[in-house]
Structures are given as structure tokens and as C-alpha cells.
Chain A
């Protein structure tokens, strides 16, 4: 079992819609959770992080964490074509840092 799992997609949503990206992790001791966006040929850039159960909002982005279900998600409201990228979920467990394989998102104008 992989430490972090994501649906590879591709996920397509129309412009203005809500995109929902999901991630599960295997280690219950994981402490912090990150969402990164990666454009083709570029390095990952941090969108947001979350440590506590519940929701955390930053502009059009909302991260949701449920530690009991070992589940973290990212919602993107009012999706824009510029949001088209691969979204990587990352989990920090002790001094280990694990990424999922990423979900490819396409926002259709």
C-alpha cells in the first residue's frame, strides 16, 4: 500500500465550476498535509497546508482534513483555465515526507 494515494485523473471541469481533489494516506501518525500545484515542466508550488481536522480556506481554495478517515481533499471554487495543472498531495510523517502521484486537472473554458 502506498503511503499517499490520489486518483490520477484526468479530471475535467468547466470554467467557473468547483473542482474536488481527493487524497488518502496510510499512516495515522501523519501530522501535516500539503497541497501543491505543478505545471508541466515546472517544480511544485505550495497552495496550502493543513494540520487540524476540519476546513481551511484560502481564497478560492479550501483544504479539508479528516484524520479519522485518513482523508484530505482540496476544493477549488470558480475554477479558471489557469488552474489546469497536476495537483500533488503531500503528507509529513515524522521526518519523512510523502507525495502522491498527483491528479491532473483540466479546466475547460
Chain B
């Protein structure tokens, strides 16, 4: 139990559709980052939000977007889904001891 909640845990979408993934915690963290982890690979950094503003972005196209809310919960939105978007999506909250990951959302695009 990490204290970081992601929903949903599993999701199946059709190519071309849009998806929204959510991340929250019981205690407020002003920095949240999102990652994509394909099978057998390390997590790839998508972007980071600090106090509701994006302040870092990895090599992902604009159809990957996000939001952070005043209560520090966060969303990852992916438009125009492609088959290669199938992966485990992780959010991580930054604390004094580093980043703590949620349990992830497994997205399958068919």
C-alpha cells in the first residue's frame, strides 16, 4: 500500500479512442509525474506537474496531456489511441524521500 491511488486498474480501449487515467493520494503532494512502461522496459517519463503547471516533459507527442488539480490529484489524457500505447501507466508523487509510485493502470488498445 503506497498511499497513491490510480484508477482504473485495467482498461481496454479501441484504436482512435480517447482515455483518461487518474491519480490521487490521501496526503497532498505538489509534484506528480506520469510514466509509460511497456512490457519488459523501464518506465518512460511522460511529463511532470508542479502546482498545477507542467514543468517537465519527456519525448511524447502532444496527444498525451495532463492536468493537476488544486487538491493535487492528477489526470493523464491520451487522444487518438494507437496500438503502441498499450502499456502500464504509472503516476508518481514526489516526497522528501523520492518518488512514490501508484499501482498503475494497465491500458490495452485493440
Binding site for B on A (CB under 8 A): 4, 6, 34, 36, 42-46, 49, 88, 90, 94-102
> Which residues of B1-33 have CB atoms within 8 Å of chain A's CB atoms?
2, 33
Q: Please indicate the chain A residues that have their CB under 8 angstroms from the CB of B50 in the complex.
A: 95
Question: From DSSP, what is the main secondary structure of chain A's interface residues?
Answer: strand
Given contacts A34-B98, A44-B101, contact A97 B45 (CB under 8 A): yes
Alpha-carbon gap, A92 to B12, bound state (A)? 32
Q: Please indicate the chain A residues that have their CB under 8 angstroms from the CB of B100 in the complex.
A: 46
- Check: B104 CB closer than 8 A to any chain A CB: yes
A-B contact pairs, 23 of them (CB 8 A): A4-B42, A6-B42, A34-B98, A43-B2, A43-B88, A43-B90, A43-B102, A43-B104, A44-B43, A44-B90, A46-B98, A46-B100, A90-B99, A96-B58, A97-B33, A97-B45, A97-B48, A97-B56, A99-B44, A99-B45, A100-B42, A101-B42, A102-B42
